[in-house]
Chains A and B, each alone.
Chain A
Amino acid sequence: MSSDWPLWEVFVRAKGGLAHRHVGSVHAPDQELALRHARDTYTRRLEGVSLWVVKSDEIVASDPDEAGPLFEPAEDKIYRHPTFYDIPDEVKHI
């Protein structure tokens, strides 16, 4: 049965102020049940306050074969990392 159902990617917001994070995927016949399945599968232990689901085949992904041109040029640009100053302790999420 579930193999006939489309796959949905699941995103959970752990608490207010944080971004939704990808946590996994579920099979479901439609978007309402995808949310139910995501709730029952990924928020059983109080993991979240908000859920997103999106059909997996609607996600546009980069081609692994192009990883070189896409990502390697960033390797030697260490000045882009915010590591040259101290982050105040009060700043929790950066």
Chain B
Amino acid sequence: MPSLPPIEKDVQKRAEKARPKGAFDEPETLTADPLEDAYYDYLLRLGDDALILGQRLGEWCGHAPSVEVDLSLANMALDLIGQATLILDKANNGDGDDLAFKRDVLDFRNCWLVEQPNGDFARTICRQLLYSTWQHMLFQQLAESPDSFLSAIAAKAVKEVAYHRELASEWAVRLGDGTDESAGRMRDGLDWCWRFVPELFEVDQPLEEMIARQTVPDPRSFEAEYRAAIGAVLAEAKLDVPPDQRPILGGRRGHHSEHLGHLLAVMQFLPRTYPDSVW
């Protein structure tokens, strides 16, 4: 068995750039070429969201409540992995695998919500409802972007994401308006996920650059619509909208929960142990 390749290629450089303890909530300031950096950053955010959520959903494979649900979750996972492949390939000149499998946790730009552990089926559904509803609204607008790559990927993915949103909404209603136990699990799942919602609408400097170029939508433009849509699903599910909690921010700047490292350990093990293996 070959020895493990080094994970950190530029530890020294990275250490010099590291910000002081507790500074991850501070907005990012840009260096060098702000526009190119912002575009690359945006691709990583979209691509990493899809990649990490796809990997999480894939963890259900063989463990879902029934074989039909197993397929539903795996189908969503494959849709998301497909989106991630296109976006990360674009970000890295055709080598998205390099970004997916050879970056370490601090270089990932996904939001906190998608890296959260599956928990039980109810928490997975809460996470999916909150993310897919946001992604659907974002991609509907992104499909109108003057940037031909972003508009093409969004136009293709928006149909997939619409289905994810519908499926998650239907399950949320059935579990919330189901038995005492399923409703309780939905409340716990919502309680877990709710503090990660504000991050979806955060606009920091790199995103501001992209919005200023009128290349991408400002997520704040659909925040009210988002909250109304989630509220409508929860009302039908006979669940209360949870009270707002202290927002957890920082995923877009590389600050993640401890869960992401464990996810990457599983996802990256094979390509890191047997680099460039083919079969």
A binding-site residues for B, Cβ under 8 Å: 1-2, 5, 26-30, 32-33, 36-37, 40-41, 44
CA distance A26 to B69 in the complex (A): 10
Complex contacts, A29 vs chain B, CB 8 Å: 174
CA distance A32 to B171 in the complex (A): 10
Tell which of B21-29, B45-53, B60-68 binds the partner: B60-68
Asked if B72 and A36 sit within 8 Å, CB to CB, the answer is: yes
**Assuming the A-B contacts A33-B174, A36-B167, are A1 and B72 also in contact, with contact meaning beta carbons closer than 8 angstroms in the complex?**
no
Contact of B65 among A1, A26, A36, A44 (CB under 8 A): A1
**Assuming the A-B contacts A33-B174, A36-B167, are A27 and B66 also in contact, with contact meaning beta carbons closer than 8 angstroms in the complex?**
yes
Complex contacts, A5 vs chain B, CB 8 Å: 66
Complex contacts, B171 vs chain A, CB 8 Å: 33
A and B contact pairs by CB, cutoff 8 A, 21 listed: A1-B66, A2-B65, A2-B69, A5-B66, A26-B68, A27-B66, A28-B68, A33-B170, A33-B171, A36-B72, A36-B167, A36-B170, A37-B69, A37-B72, A40-B68, A40-B72, A40-B75, A41-B67, A41-B71, A44-B71, A44-B75
CA distance A32 to B189 in the complex (A): 23
Complex contacts, A40 vs chain B, CB 8 Å: 68, 71-72, 75
**Which B-chain residue is minimally distant from A30 (CB atoms)?**
B174
Categorize the interface residue count of chain B: 10 to 19
> Shortest Cβ distance from B226 into chain A, in angstroms?
23
Complex contacts, B69 vs chain A, CB 8 Å: 2, 37
**Assuming the A-B contacts A36-B167, A40-B75, are A2 and B68 also in contact, with contact meaning beta carbons closer than 8 angstroms in the complex?**
yes
CA distance A40 to B171 in the complex (A): 15
**Which A-chain residue is minimally distant from B74 (CB atoms)?**
A40
B binding-site residues for A, Cβ under 8 Å: 65-69, 71-72, 75, 167, 170-171, 174
Asked if B68 and A41 sit within 8 Å, CB to CB, the answer is: yes
**Which A-chain residue is minimally distant from B173 (CB atoms)?**
A32
Among A26, A29, A33, max chain B CB count under 10 A is at A33
> Shortest Cβ distance from B168 into chain A, in angstroms?
11
CA distance A1 to B182 in the complex (A): 12
Asked if B66 and A2 sit within 8 Å, CB to CB, the answer is: yes
**Which B-chain residue is minimally distant from A1 (CB atoms)?**
B65
Complex contacts, A26 vs chain B, CB 8 Å: 68
Task: List 5 other contacts, CB 8 Å, given A2-B65, A41-B67, A41-B71.
Answer: A1-B65, A27-B68, A37-B68, A37-B72, A44-B75
Among B65, B68, B71, B167, max chain A CB count under 10 A is at B68
Complex contacts, A27 vs chain B, CB 8 Å: 66, 68
> Shortest Cβ distance from B221 into chain A, in angstroms?
31
Contact of A32 among B66, B75, B170 (CB under 8 A): B170
The 5 residue pairs across chains A and B that have the minimum distance between CB atoms = A2-B66, A37-B68, A1-B65, A40-B72, A40-B71
Complex contacts, A28 vs chain B, CB 8 Å: 68
CA distance A33 to B72 in the complex (A): 11
